[in-house]
Structure 1
Amino acid sequence: LVGLLLSHGARTWRKNTETNGGEGLGVAPGPGAMTKEEAYKVLGLEAGAAAADVRKAHRRLMQRLHPDVGGTSFLAARINEAKDVLLSNHN
Structure 2
Amino acid sequence: MIRLIALAILVSVACRWIFGKWPWEYLKAPDTRQQALSKARKLLGVSERADAQEIRDAHRRIVAIIHPDRGGSSQEMQEVNAARDLLLNELPYEAPESSE
Q: TM-score range by the shorter chain?
A: 0.5 to 0.7
Q: Of the two structures, which has the highest relative contact order with CA contacts closer than 8 Å and spacing of 6 or more?
A: 1
RMSD: 2.0
State the match for 1:73 in structure 2: 74
Equivalent position amino acid for 2:60 in 1: R
Aligned length: 62
- Structure 1 or 2: more helix by fraction: 2
Which protein has the larger Cα radius of gyration, Structure 1 or Structure 2?
2
After TM superposition, the structure 1 = structure 2 runs for residues 8-87 of structure 1, keeping only pairs within 5 Å, are: 35-87=36-88
CA distance in 1, matches of 2:90, 2:43: 18
Stretches (4+) displaced over 6 A: none
TM score, norm. by length of structure 2: 0.55
Gaps in structure 1 of 5+ consecutive residues: 1-20, 23-31
Give distance in 2, aligned partners of 1:41 and 1:81.
Answer: 13
Q: Please give the per-residue CA displacement for 1:21-51, whole angstroms capped at 9, x wherever unaligned.
A: 56xxxxxxxxx7x711000000011112111
% same residue: 38
* Cα displacement (A) at 1:69: 1.0
TM-score, normalising length: structure 1 = 0.60
Any idea what SS the aligned residue of 2:47 has?
coil
